[in-house]
Chain A
Amino acid sequence: MIKINAIKIEVNTDSGLFGADYEFSEGFNIIRGDNTSGKSSLFQSILYCLGFEELIGGKNEKTMQSVLKDIVEYPKGTSHRVLQSFVLLEFRNGKEETITVRRSVISSSRAPQLVDVYNGALLTGKNKAISSQPMFIHDKGGASDDIYGFHLFLEKFLGWNLPYVFNKTGESRKIYIQQIAPSFIIEQKSGWSDFLATMPFYSLTNKEARVIEFLLNLDVYENKQVRQNLITSKRILDDKWARLYKQLNRFAERGGGKIINLESKPTILNNTNPISILLSHEGKNYSIPDFIEIQNEQLIELETRIIPKVSEKIEQNEAKIDSLTESINAVTLNYELLSEEVGFDRDKLKRYEIQLESLKEDLRKNKGAQKVKKLGAELDSKMAHDLCPTCEQPIKDSLLPSDIAQNPMLIEDNIIFIEAQIKMIKVYIEGLAFNVSEKEERLNRIRMNLSNKRQSLRGLKRELISDDRLPSELEIEKKLNIKKRIEFYNRYLEDFNELLDEAKQLSAEHEKLLKDTEKLQSDFFSVTDRKKLDYLLSQFKRLLFEFDYKSKSSDFIDISLDNYLPVAQKQFGDDLKSYDLRFDSSASDFIRCIWAYTCSLYLTSNNFDANHPKLLMFDEPKQQDISLIHFRSFLTELSSYSGVQILLFASFENSDESYQIATEGLDFNLIYIDKKLIKPIDNKPLAS
C-alpha cells in the first residue's frame, strides 16, 4: 500500500526562490487547477519522485516541463531563469513507515539518476534532521542493487515481491516496478489512448498479462512458473540422458561391442526390452554374460588340449607376421597424421585463449573508462560531455588526432562490441576443446591398438627363432590372454550394470516429468483465479453501465484470458470471436472503459486482498467531451471508495459552474491551484 502525504517543489531562479507545497489527505483528493496552472507539472512531479517518469515518455529530467528546468513565468509576462530545482515527495506504506524522496531536475551537484531517500517525514514532520541515503534510478542496478537501487528499495518498501518473468531472449528477469504503475496511474497525454498505454516495454513478452497477474495475485502465474520449471527440468534431464547415451556408446566401444535398445532421447525403460551390449564372436552376437561363458568354455578346452610344438606352426606363423606388419604400418601412418592434427588444434586453442584473456582485459578497461567518464560528468567537466573545454564545440570521444577522419564508437557500443567478440571466441574455444579431446581419445585408442599388435608381432618373431622342439609360446600366451579377457569382461559387466542403474533412474525421472506435465496441462487457472476474473468482469460491466457506456451491449463484453484486458465478442456463424474493445467503442466510450477498467482492477484486488497499491492517480480524466453528468458518475463512484487514496487532477473546463455540477454533495478533499503552481517563496532565514 502506498499513501502520498505531501509534495514540495523548490525552484531557485535568478530572481530568488520559487516553489510549491501541497499536502494530500488519505481518501479522495481532487486537485483542481485551470489548464495553464501547472496542474500536470504537479502530477508529473509525483511520478518523477517515484522514478515513474517513463509513463510520461522518456527518462530523467527530459520528461519534466520547462517551468522546472528552464524558465518560470510569474506573474504572466515576467520570466525568471531556473538555476536549480528539486522535487520532494513524502509517502508511507501499509506499515505506517514514512519516507521522503528528494530528486533533482536541474542541479550542478546532483545527477537526476540519483535520489536521496530520507528515512522519515521530511515535509510534514517537525523533525527536519533526518538521515538520508543516496540511491540510483534507472541506471543498471537501479532495480536490482540491494543497497543503492531505488526501485528495489521501493519494491521492498511497498511489501511487494515482483515476479520473475521471461523476456524475449529467454532470460529470467524481474518485472520492473515502472511496468506496474500504468495500472493505477493514468497520465494525460497518452494514458487515455489505450488500456495500460504508458507501460514501458523492456523486451518483456505479454507484459500486460504479467502485470495484471501480479496485481490480482493470480495463481495462473504460479502455474506457468511451475510449467517453466518443468521445462527446465526436462532440459536438464535431456542433457543428462544425452551424456549417458554418449557414455554408454563409448563404453560399448571400449569393450568392442555394440549397444542395443538405447534411444538418444529420454524414454521410459521397460524390462521387456532391456538395454544391453552385444559382443561379437566368430560372426555371432552375444550378450556380455553369454560371451563370458563362451570364453570360459574355450579356456577349459585349451587347458585340456596338449600344447603343440613350435615346429608344427612355422608356416602359419610366417603368414601372420606378414599381415600384422602390414596392418601396423597402416595404423602408424594414421597415428602420425592424427597426432599432427591434434598438435595444430592445441596451438590454435592456446591462441584463442590468449585472445580471450586480452579481450577480457579490454572489456574491464572499457567498463572502467565508462565509469570514469560518468564520474567526470558529476564534476561538471566539459570533456565528459564530449565538449571541448575551451570552445564548447562537440568533440569526438577519442584521443586520436582530430584530422584522422574516423568516428570512434560510443563507449557503450564499444563495450557491447567487445562482449560480442568474447561470446564468439568462447564458442570457438568450446568447439575446439571438444574437438581436441575427441581426437586425443582417438589417438589413445590407436596407440593401444598399435602396442597390442606390436606385442603379438614380437611374440611371433620370438617363436620363429626359438628352439622348434619347445612347446609353442604363443599357445601359452593365448591361454593367458583368455584368462585376462574373462577377468576384464567380468569387471566390464559390473561397470555396465552401474550405468544401467543410472539409466533406470533417469527413466524414472522422465516418467515423473511426463506425469507432472500431463497433470498441469489441463487448466492453468485455479478456482480462485476464475472467481477473481468473474468479479473483474462483473465490476467492469457494472461500471460501464454506471458511466453510460453505449457502444456495445454488455452481453458481448468479456475479459480476455490471454491478457486480461476487456474485449468485445462478435458472433461469426457458430463461433464467438474477440476483438479489441477500442475499435468497437466511440472515443468517449473508450474513456469510460478506461475509467471502468482501472476502478475494477482496484475493486477486484481489494475484494480478494491482492497486490494493488491502493493508490489511483488520474490526470484530466474528463476527456473527449464526456458530459459533466457522466463525469459526475465517475467522481461519485470514486468518492464511494474507502481505504484507497485517489489523486484526481482536473480542470473542470476552467469553470466554477462545471466544478459545482460535477462535485456538489460529494465527499472529497479539494486542493485548489490558484492561478499558478510555482510561486515565489519567502526565503528569509527563520528567526531562531
Chain B
Amino acid sequence: MSDFTIKNITFSKRPISIPADYRPAYKIAQICLILKHSCIGEKSSLLKFHLISWAFKSIENRKTLLTFITDPKHSDLSVWGIEPTLNRALHIAVADNFCSYQNANYKLEEKGLEFAKKIEEVKDILADEIALLKQIGKRGITEKSIQDLTNKWTLFND
C-alpha cells in the first residue's frame, strides 16, 4: 500500500491560449474601425458597439444584421449579445486616447483615426470586419433605430 503514498502534488500554472478577440489591441482596432466607417460624426453609443461587435462574431450574425439594414420588414433582429470584454476594451481605448467619452457617446480621436488608417494600409488584417463596416456604411444603423429596437426590450410596455 505504501507504494502508492503520494507525498505532495504541485501544480504550476501555464499561460493559456486566448482568442484573438480577447486581445485589447484587436478589440480596440475594431472599435476605431467601427467609429471611422459606420458612425455619423464618428460618434457611437455603447449599444451600437455591442451590436456591431456581435455581428463580427459569426456569419449568421452578420447576415441577420445586414437583413435588418437592407430589408427591415423581414428582419428578426431583436436582441444581440453584450460582452464585458468590449466594455473593458472601451475603458482602455478612452484612457489611451484612441477615443473619448462625451455625453454618453464615444467619439473617435485623432490617434484612433490614425490607428484605423494604419490598419487599413496593411491589406490582410481585419479584412472581413472592414468589409462588413463598409457595407453597413455611415447611415446604415442610426442611434434611433437602436433606440427603437431596445424600446421593445422592456417587459411592461406602457
Is A37 on the interface with B (CB-CB < 8 A)?
no
- Interface 9-mer from B72-80, B117-125, B132-140: B117-125
Is A365 on the interface with B (CB-CB < 8 A)?
yes
Taking residues whose C-beta sits less than 8 angstroms from the other chain, chain B's interface range is 35 or more
Chain A hits for B84, CB < 8 A:
401
Question: Once the chains bind, are B20 and A369 in contact (CB under 8 Å)?
Answer: yes
- The answer to whether residues A371 and B17 also contact, given A397-B24, A399-B85 and a CB cut-off of 8 A, is no
Further 14 A-B residue pairs, CB within 8 A, beyond A383-B92, A399-B22, A406-B16: A369-B25, A373-B23, A375-B122, A376-B28, A381-B98, A381-B115, A382-B96, A383-B25, A383-B96, A389-B95, A398-B24, A400-B85, A401-B88, A408-B22
Against B, the Cβ 8 Å flags (1 = close, 0 = not) of A383-410 are: 1100011100000011111000111111
Question: Once the chains bind, are A397 and B15 in contact (CB under 8 Å)?
Answer: no
Chain A hits for B19, CB < 8 A:
362, 365
Question: How far in angstroms is the closest Cβ of chain B from A664?
Answer: 59
Question: Once the chains bind, are A389 and B118 in contact (CB under 8 Å)?
Answer: no
- The answer to whether residues A409 and B18 also contact, given A372-B126, A375-B122, A376-B115 and a CB cut-off of 8 A, is yes
Is A555 on the interface with B (CB-CB < 8 A)?
no
Question: Once the chains bind, are B17 and A409 in contact (CB under 8 Å)?
Answer: yes
Chain B hits for A367, CB < 8 A:
125
Is A431 on the interface with B (CB-CB < 8 A)?
no
Among residues of A, the one whose C-beta sits closest to the C-beta of B87 is: A399
Question: Once the chains bind, are B27 and A399 in contact (CB under 8 Å)?
Answer: yes
Is B29 on the interface with A (CB-CB < 8 A)?
yes
For the complex, give the distance between the alpha carbons of A279 and B69 in Å. Answer: 72
Chain B hits for A398, CB < 8 A:
18, 22-24
- The answer to whether residues A372 and B119 also contact, given A398-B23, A401-B84 and a CB cut-off of 8 A, is yes
For the complex, give the distance between the alpha carbons of A411 and B17 in Å. Answer: 9
Question: Once the chains bind, are B18 and A414 in contact (CB under 8 Å)?
Answer: yes
28 A-B residue pairs with Cβ-Cβ distance under 8 Å, sorted by A, are A362-B20, A365-B21, A367-B125, A368-B26, A369-B25, A372-B29, A373-B23, A375-B115, A375-B122, A376-B25, A376-B28, A376-B115, A382-B95, A383-B92, A389-B92, A389-B96, A397-B23, A397-B24, A398-B18, A401-B88, A407-B13, A407-B14, A408-B15, A408-B18, A408-B22, A409-B16, A409-B18, A410-B15
From A366, A368, A401, give the contact of B126 (CB < 8 A): A368
Is A418 on the interface with B (CB-CB < 8 A)?
yes
Question: Once the chains bind, are A379 and B111 in contact (CB under 8 Å)?
Answer: yes
Against A, the Cβ 8 Å flags (1 = close, 0 = not) of B14-49 are: 111111111111111100000000000000000000
Chain A hits for B29, CB < 8 A:
372, 376
For the complex, give the distance between the alpha carbons of A372 and B112 in Å. Answer: 12
For the complex, give the distance between the alpha carbons of A686 and B31 in Å. Answer: 46
- The answer to whether residues A378 and B118 also contact, given A368-B26, A369-B25, A369-B26 and a CB cut-off of 8 A, is yes
Chain A hits for B88, CB < 8 A:
399, 401
Question: Once the chains bind, are B25 and A372 in contact (CB under 8 Å)?
Answer: yes
For the complex, give the distance between the alpha carbons of A375 and B86 in Å. Answer: 20
For the complex, give the distance between the alpha carbons of A647 and B19 in Å. Answer: 52
For the complex, give the distance between the alpha carbons of A509 and B124 in Å. Answer: 45
For the complex, give the distance between the alpha carbons of A409 and B21 in Å. Answer: 14
Question: Once the chains bind, are B25 and A384 in contact (CB under 8 Å)?
Answer: yes
Question: Once the chains bind, are B20 and A417 in contact (CB under 8 Å)?
Answer: no
Is B89 on the interface with A (CB-CB < 8 A)?
yes
Question: How far in angstroms is the closest Cβ of chain B from A445?
Answer: 42
Question: How far in angstroms is the closest Cβ of chain B from A357?
Answer: 12
Question: Once the chains bind, are B95 and A379 in contact (CB under 8 Å)?
Answer: no
Q: Which of B17, B29, B111 is the most central at the interface, judged by chain A CB atoms within 10 Å of its CB?
A: B17
Chain B hits for A390, CB < 8 A:
95
Is A96 on the interface with B (CB-CB < 8 A)?
no
Chain A hits for B119, CB < 8 A:
372, 375
Question: Once the chains bind, are A414 and B17 in contact (CB under 8 Å)?
Answer: yes
- The answer to whether residues A399 and B15 also contact, given A375-B118, A379-B114, A383-B92 and a CB cut-off of 8 A, is no
Chain A hits for B86, CB < 8 A:
399
For the complex, give the distance between the alpha carbons of A408 and B93 in Å. Answer: 20
- The answer to whether residues A383 and B122 also contact, given A362-B19, A411-B23 and a CB cut-off of 8 A, is no
For the complex, give the distance between the alpha carbons of A368 and B124 in Å. Answer: 8
Is A413 on the interface with B (CB-CB < 8 A)?
yes
List A residues at the B interface (Cβ < 8 Å): 362, 365-369, 371-373, 375-376, 378-379, 381-384, 388-390, 397-401, 405-411, 413-414, 417-418
Question: How far in angstroms is the closest Cβ of chain B from A380?
Answer: 8
Question: How far in angstroms is the closest Cβ of chain A from B95?
Answer: 4
Among residues of A, the one whose C-beta sits closest to the C-beta of B83 is: A399
Chain B hits for A413, CB < 8 A:
15
Question: Once the chains bind, are A369 and B15 in contact (CB under 8 Å)?
Answer: no
Question: How far in angstroms is the closest Cβ of chain B from A301?
Answer: 71
**Interface positions of B from 91 to 120, Cβ below 8 Å from A:** 92-93, 95-98, 111, 114-115, 118-119
Question: How far in angstroms is the closest Cβ of chain A from B22?
Answer: 5
Question: How far in angstroms is the closest Cβ of chain A from B25?
Answer: 4
For the complex, give the distance between the alpha carbons of A414 and B93 in Å. Answer: 23
Question: Once the chains bind, are B17 and A383 in contact (CB under 8 Å)?
Answer: no
Question: How far in angstroms is the closest Cβ of chain B from A158?
Answer: 30
Chain B hits for A414, CB < 8 A:
17-18, 20
Chain A hits for B22, CB < 8 A:
398-400, 408
Chain A hits for B23, CB < 8 A:
369, 373, 397-399, 411
For the complex, give the distance between the alpha carbons of A417 and B19 in Å. Answer: 12
- The answer to whether residues A366 and B20 also contact, given A371-B122, A379-B111, A400-B85 and a CB cut-off of 8 A, is yes
Chain B hits for A388, CB < 8 A:
95
For the complex, give the distance between the alpha carbons of A413 and B23 in Å. Answer: 13
Question: Once the chains bind, are B125 and A408 in contact (CB under 8 Å)?
Answer: no
Question: How far in angstroms is the closest Cβ of chain A from B118?
Answer: 5
The list of the 7 closest CB pairs from A to B, nearest first, reads: A399-B85, A365-B20, A389-B95, A368-B125, A389-B96, A373-B25, A369-B20
For the complex, give the distance between the alpha carbons of A398 and B15 in Å. Answer: 12
From A362, A365, A406, A408, give the contact of B26 (CB < 8 A): A365
For the complex, give the distance between the alpha carbons of A401 and B26 in Å. Answer: 16
Question: Once the chains bind, are A409 and B118 in contact (CB under 8 Å)?
Answer: no
For the complex, give the distance between the alpha carbons of A675 and B19 in Å. Answer: 56
Question: How far in angstroms is the closest Cβ of chain B from A215?
Answer: 38
Chain B hits for A362, CB < 8 A:
19-20
Chain A hits for B124, CB < 8 A:
368
Among residues of A, the one whose C-beta sits closest to the C-beta of B96 is: A389
Chain A hits for B16, CB < 8 A:
406-409
For the complex, give the distance between the alpha carbons of A375 and B124 in Å. Answer: 14
Q: Which of A375, A398, A411, A418 is the most central at the interface, judged by chain B CB atoms within 10 Å of its CB?
A: A375
Question: Once the chains bind, are A371 and B115 in contact (CB under 8 Å)?
Answer: no
For the complex, give the distance between the alpha carbons of A383 and B125 in Å. Answer: 19
- The answer to whether residues A417 and B118 also contact, given A397-B23, A399-B22 and a CB cut-off of 8 A, is no
Among residues of A, the one whose C-beta sits closest to the C-beta of B30 is: A372
From B13, B15, B26, B85, give the contact of A372 (CB < 8 A): B26
For the complex, give the distance between the alpha carbons of A388 and B91 in Å. Answer: 10
Among residues of B, the one whose C-beta sits closest to the C-beta of A374 is: B25
Q: Which of B85, B96, B97 is the most central at the interface, judged by chain A CB atoms within 10 Å of its CB?
A: B96
For the complex, give the distance between the alpha carbons of A111 and B126 in Å. Answer: 23
Question: How far in angstroms is the closest Cβ of chain A from B21?
Answer: 7
Question: How far in angstroms is the closest Cβ of chain A from B57?
Answer: 12
Chain B hits for A365, CB < 8 A:
19-21, 26
From B15, B25, B111, give the contact of A407 (CB < 8 A): B15
Among residues of A, the one whose C-beta sits closest to the C-beta of B116 is: A375
Question: Once the chains bind, are B115 and A399 in contact (CB under 8 Å)?
Answer: no
Question: Once the chains bind, are B28 and A383 in contact (CB under 8 Å)?
Answer: yes
Among residues of B, the one whose C-beta sits closest to the C-beta of A375 is: B118
